[in-house]
Structure 1
Amino acid sequence: MAVRFLIVDDHPLFRDALAVAIQSAYPEAEIVEASSISAAREVLQSGEPFDLLLLDLSMPGTRGFDGLIELRAARPKQPILVVSAHEDPRIIHEAMTCGAAGYISKSVKKADLSEAIQDVMAGLVVLPKGYEPPTADAPSRDTDLAARVASLTRQQLRVLQMVRQGKLNKQIAHELGVGETTVKAHVSEIMRKLNVVSRTQAVIEVARLDYDAILATAVARDDKDGARS
């Protein structure tokens, strides 16, 4: 019986690249593709067996590790190899904590990706070369992050809250009554202030904080400043 793989990635070109890497290691492999978490969940719930699922963390309509957690819940024993552009040790550590069977960067060569797939299929845990678990300096990092979040304007905090809810720029623009270009500008400024490279990383970072308390403080701050002016 041929080995079977499920590729979950919203980019057609990268799905093709993953398929090539799989076929390099398993020429007779059967490959199914899904461009969203919901599509992947439907495939898994149909009962089709897969030897390995390859997942991109940054999928539309999901935030943080929600996609990984959702697919793990749909099929708890399904091995999942995360193939992501994120190389932050904290993200890798969290993905493994959420039950991933391995984690590899999208920037690796095809041969390395094929080897990683074979290793996971053999029951090995695959992690990026040079990976080291995050150190125990979380309190100081959290204090710095909280200060960065507190530096956001009230509108930027609203936008960040909606990003955390998995909403797209178009949806955020509609709810705030502003243009989509304005939302994009807010998201860019949020990422700059938080010193992150993507929406997903912003969500992951902020998840460690008491966001509601920060938002309430910002509202009180703005109200107080408004009363003074």
Structure 2
Amino acid sequence: MAVAATPSAPIFVVADDHPMVRDALALSLGAAFPGAQVEFAGSLGETLMAVERRPDADLVILDLDMPGMNGMAGLAQLRSSHASVPVAIVSAARSPALMRQAVEMGAAGFIPKFTPSQEITDAIRDILAGAVWLPEVARDHQLAPVEADLALRAAQLTPQQHRVLALMAQGKPNKVIAFEMQITEPTVKSHVTEILRRLGVQSRTQAVIVAQKLGMEPPAAKGS
């Protein structure tokens, strides 16, 4: 979708695999920012292509649960390849630690999908003005020290390590992870070793527990 923007109007990339969600966000953005241009994406791959087309985008509005994302791994990849383009997460995830982790990884904000429409556009306005936006539940004074430490540790993982951890959280063994990521099994083992070190845990099981605390457990089937 391409709507002609006025010179001062922002450019958005709205990335969500639910057309109704994309349309609702586009309508809200159009009302809040007259003349805004909105590009749509329904997967991580489409998001990366949209940002390639529009490197002048003012904000990417990104869902964590869509094809190719693998949770925070998709955010890590997007930030790695397009560090200059601001990203705001709009997600159904409710974990405060996950919200803090997103900011630690370079997101400009985390807006829960259950936030009222007017508050979503107000948050986006704040982000465009340079603020970092989080809901009250995830702000520093309300986040437990253990969760804050987990978020900071997880934010230090590389994009590939985030993807390995997400697949580990889905219960997949190294051989399957290697196949899905098109890398060797020894490379997966090396990633797992580094993941354990960076998370400060001693076993694969403990790493999966951390992933679950961060909201990286497999999402519920859509429509369920």
- Calculate the TM-score normalised by the size of structure 1: 0.61
- Give the whole-Å Cα distance in 1 for the aligned partners of 2:70 and 2:179: 9
1:99 aligns with 2:110: no
Q: Distance in 2 between matches of 1:25 and 1:53?
A: 16
**Offset of residue 30 of structure 1:** 0.6
Structure 1 residue 99, shift from structure 2 partner: 0.3
Q: Percent identity?
A: 31
Match of 1:147 in 2: none
Secondary structure of the equivalent of 2:126? helix
Residue 108 (structure 1) aligns with: 115
In the alignment, what sits opposite 1:38? 45
- CA deviation string 1:52-100 (max 9, x = no partner): 1100111223323111111112211111111011121110111011100
**Is the counterpart of residue 26 in structure 1 residue 30 in structure 2?**
no
- Sort the Cα spacing of 1:137 and 1:122 in 2 relative to 1 into closer, same or farther, 3 A: closer
Establish whether residue 135 from structure 1 lines up as the match of residue 144 from structure 2.
yes
**Is the contact between residue 61 and residue 167 of structure 1 (CA under 8 Å) also seen in structure 2?**
no
Cα offset for 1:167? 9.8
**Bigger Rg, which one:** 1
Show the 5 A alignment for 1:218-229. none
The letter of the residue matching 1:84 is S
> For each residue in 1:111-168, what CA deviation from the matched residue of structure 2 results, as whole angstroms up to 9, or x when unmatched?
1111111111111111113433432336xx9xxxxxxxxxxxxxxx896126x95999
Query: Aligned-pair distance for 1:3?
Result: 1.7
* 1:74 equivalent in alignment to 2:81: yes
Letter of the 1:7 partner, please give it: V
CA deviation profile, 1:2-46 (whole Å, cap 9, x unmatched):
321001111111111111221121121110000011111112223
Q: Match for residue 96 of structure 2?
A: 89
Distance 1:167 1:136, change over 3 A: farther
Q: What pairs with 1:180-219 in structure 2 (closer than 5 Å)?
A: 208=199, 212=204
Alignment: residue pair count = 160
Residue pair 2:55, 2:85 contacting (<8 A) in 1 also? no
Rounded Cα–Cα distance in structure 2 between residues aligned with 1:112 and 1:27: 17
The letter of the residue matching 2:111 is I
Unaligned runs of 5+ in 1: 142-156, 169-206, 216-229
Distance 1:136 1:80 in 2: 25
| AA aligned opposite 1:135 | A
Higher mean alpha-carbon deviation, 84-93 vs 125-134, is at: 125-134
Distance across 2 between alignment mates of 1:55 and 1:166: 27
Q: Which amino acid aligns with 1:45?
A: E
The answer for the alignment partner of 2:130 in structure 1 is 123
**Corresponding letter in the other structure for 1:160:** G
